[in-house]
Structure 1
Amino acid sequence: MSKVGFDTGGEELLGRVGPLWEKLKTHHAAHSVHFSEFLAGRTFVDRTADILCHGGEVRVDLAVRSGRDVGYCVCTISPSGTGEVDSLYVEEDFRGCGLGEALARRGLAWMDEKKVTRRSLSVVYGNDAALAFYRRLGFYPRNIQLDQLPASA
């Protein structure tokens, strides 16, 4: 088995994230208690626009094995200096070996270099495994945001 390497850059690498993000979207839709339909309807173009609309800095780390992208972490720093882990995904057959943590820590180290003092992230409700994962990285719930389901037509 060949070693996993990393490609690191900015928004120019977002296009390579797309196929993996689609798998993350499917995972989120399967685990969301109330918003599966909404999550399934999102596009990568929408998500990329969300990431870029803040006007800050973007960092993309891609995990690559034998020329295949097997995971990614997208982090941003807003103009006000808040860091965010915007999206993180690792292919199922690469989970459990520390790759997700390595990707997240690369993004967090970048935030350290940029002197970011506040960091945040969002977890889809129902994705309890992600809560435990991020807790190991020092993230804890600060508040709970509630959204209302759209009214049926």
Structure 2
Amino acid sequence: MNIFLVEKDFTEIGLIQPLWEQLNLVHLDKSVYFKSKYEKFTFKQRIESINKKAQTGIIKLDMLLDKDTENYIGYCLSSIEDNLGEIESIYIENNYRKLGLGGKLMKSSLKWFKDHQVINISIGVAYGNDEALPFYRSFGFNIANYILKK
């Protein structure tokens, strides 16, 4: 396995678009109540909210590069704003899952939060994506509350 974690500058955020679009399809597939949200949700809309956070906070972008194919196969986008940390988005292509790569991304972001003395960290998980919960629990994350939407 010839896969490397590469930290990218926020100006290179567009590199995650194909991976983010795959993640959005996963959310569309798993969504129980809000399929129309994911059908209409665009990368441009998502990045607008990240750009707003970048104005008042800081953003970290890690990507996984498969050196054999020269393709990016995963990413983790994290933010700190008002001393609150958030794993904004994390995704690894299906063929590369269960290889410990998600753990590499999470450890890098958690170290970044620690380096910035951020201890209040959250991750939003789309309802229906229950298979992701054990992964997050393995890093100490637990369900804090439910947010219901109409």
Fold match (TM-score > 0.5):
yes
TM-score range, shorter-chain basis?
A: over 0.9
Pairing of 1:99-114 with structure 2 (within 5 A): 99-114=101-116
Q: Secondary structure at the match of 2:136?
A: helix
Shift in Å, 1:101: 1.4
Instruction: Return the alpha-carbon distance in structure 2 between the equivalents of residues 3 and 40 of structure 1.
Output: 34
Q: Secondary structure at the match of 1:111?
A: helix
Aligned residues: 146
- Indicate the RMSD between aligned Cα atoms, in angstroms: 1.0
Is 1:71 paired with 2:74? yes
Once the two structures are superposed, what CA deviation does each residue of 1:72-95 show, in whole Å capped at 9, x if it has no partner?
A: 0000000x1100000000000000
Letter in 1 for 2:27: H
Shift in Å, 1:51: 1.6
Shift in Å, 1:10: 3.2
Q: Secondary structure at the match of 2:140?
A: coil
TM-score (normalizing by structure 2): 0.94
Shift in Å, 1:71: 0.3
Structure 1 residue runs of 4+, over 6 Å off? none
Instruction: Return the alpha-carbon distance in structure 2 between the equivalents of residues 95 and 13 of structure 1.
Output: 24
In structure 2, list runs of 5 or more residues that go unmatched. Answer: none
Aligned to 1:123: 125
Aligned to 2:135: 133
Shift in Å, 1:7: 1.5
Instruction: Return the alpha-carbon distance in structure 2 between the equivalents of residues 95 and 111 of structure 1.
Output: 24
Aligned to 1:151: none
Instruction: Return the alpha-carbon distance in structure 2 between the equivalents of residues 106 and 131 of structure 1.
Output: 19
Using the TM superposition, name which of 5-14 and 36-45 deviates more.
5-14
In structure 1, list runs of 5 or more residues that go unmatched. Answer: 149-153
TM-score (normalizing by structure 1): 0.92
- The percent of aligned pairs where both chains have the same amino acid is 33
Letter in 1 for 2:8: G
